[in-house]
Amino acid sequence: MSANIQSTPPDTLAVVKDQLSVATAARKCHGCGCLHQTVEALATTDVGRGGLAPTLAEARRVFVPKEYDCLGCKVCYPALAANAFAEAFPAAADGLDLCPTDAPAERRGWPPLPGDYHVVRYRAPVAVCTLHSEHLAAHLAEAAPEGLAISGTLQTENLGIERIIRNVLGNPHIRFLLLCGEDTRQAIGHLPGQSLASLFENGLDERRRIRGARGKRPVLRNVRPEQVDAFVRQVEIISLIGETALSTVAERVERCAADDPGPFDGAPVDTQVETMRAAEPKRLILDPAGFLVVYPDAPRRLLVVEHYTNAGVLDCVLEGVAPASIYATAIERGLVSRLDHAAYLGMELARAEASLKTGDRYVQDRAPGQLLAAPEPPADGCGTSCRLGGQP
């Protein structure tokens, strides 16, 4: 069904024209997908070919190649124009593609879809959406309160919500979705927080539009109805929209984690994360770079690593007060060339460090797959070897 210019409410047409004119005058909009997509979509309607035609033509004259899909501006002029058009002509607007962003390609593993988020831990029950508050998402991930699986932002009420649905369904351990941070408080086309809350409260209509959502385009076209149903059953939504205090959000995450009901069973999961039982290596593969002898030097409160060639010749001694400084230096100087040997070195340094702190006797563990066989540490250091580190 198309809209006819004769039935266009004058005030509505004026709003559409005014907002498109403001966008045309704003340099940041010239390369924005929001303006490009809105203009091209409206141009396909009867109104766009009639009373709006001069306004759309003027907008096209300032177009430059698209630089970004959406800037997430507090006031989105093309979105306001699109909303006014949709209010006056809901049938015509329902068939328009007003979103400038393409659906993202899925990948293996979790999260299956890319986004502006920070992964903390897979087997944790709480996902936090900080809406437009990017710094809050980053600081929350850095604080990593008990029970936090992932924190991220949400900019749009269509593809953004679809990504949340798919990523949550990809992890059955997530049972709570906490909304916080700043949703849009000024006039804007995107209201992702309000739209996401409406999804839980009101669901979708027959056109897959979120009932009660006031966003620019709250239509979920890239998720199946059964996925939406499973999503709202899997997670309990906790709305703290407007809350930006890190301590308050972190405390609520921990409270949710204490009520974790366990993994959700019944989601139509399209992406699986493989879980396997780790097995002891059956044999040791020698590192071409040589082998290492680790021991704590209690009198000097130092960690010591002696490096030997595979012929049994000591060629380097590393000393330091922290495991990280030693294994970083060992890797930098090429004294470890295999990942399994690097992991073994880190493990033994941690055990040696604990021995220095507790006074317990340290005995270097055997290397995976084979008993450790190394010469006794020389009494006089490394002779002609290099010595790295030294007194703290």
Retrieve residue 37's tokens.
């997509």
Residue 320 has pLDDT above 80, yes or no: yes
Cβ-proximal residues to 392 (8 Å cutoff; 6+ apart), any chain: 301, 302, 321
- Which pTM value belongs to this model? 0.64
At 114 the pLDDT is 85
Query: What is the spatial distance between Cα 212 and Cα 218, in angstroms, rounded to a whole number?
Result: 9
Domain positions in the chain = 5-94, 117-258, 291-388
At 98 the pLDDT is 66
pLDDT tens-digit profile of 68-81? 877 766 677 887 78
At 5 the pLDDT is 39
Percent of the chain with pLDDT over 70: 83
CATH architecture, domain defined by 117-258: 3-Layer(aba) Sandwich (3.40)
At 133 the pLDDT is 92
pLDDT confidence bin for 189, thresholds 50/70/90? low
Nearest of 126, 121, 142, 122 to residue 257 by alpha carbon: 126
> Do residues 81 and 131 touch, judged by C-beta distance below 8 A?
no
Nearest of 101, 204, 113, 212 to residue 159 by alpha carbon: 101
Retrieve residue 371's tokens.
């008993």
> Do residues 50 and 83 touch, judged by C-beta distance below 8 A?
no
- Partner residues linked to 239 by β-bridges: 179
Residue 351 has pLDDT above 70, yes or no: yes
> Do residues 126 and 253 touch, judged by C-beta distance below 8 A?
yes
Candidate from 13-17, 19-23, 26-30, 236-240 with smallest mean pLDDT? 13-17
Coil/strand/helix, residue 294: strand
pLDDT confidence bin for 389, thresholds 50/70/90? very low
Retrieve residue 188's tokens.
């804007």
Nearest of 65, 38, 42, 50 to residue 7 by alpha carbon: 50
Percent of the chain with pLDDT over 90: 54
Residue 62 has pLDDT above 50, yes or no: yes
pLDDT tens-digit profile of 219-272? 898 899 999 999 999 999 999 999 999 999 999 999 999 999 999 987 776 666
pLDDT tens-digit profile of 141-186? 999 999 999 999 998 888 889 999 999 999 999 999 999 999 864 4
pLDDT confidence bin for 367, thresholds 50/70/90? low
Candidate from 6-10, 292-296, 387-391 with smallest mean pLDDT? 387-391
At 8 the pLDDT is 47
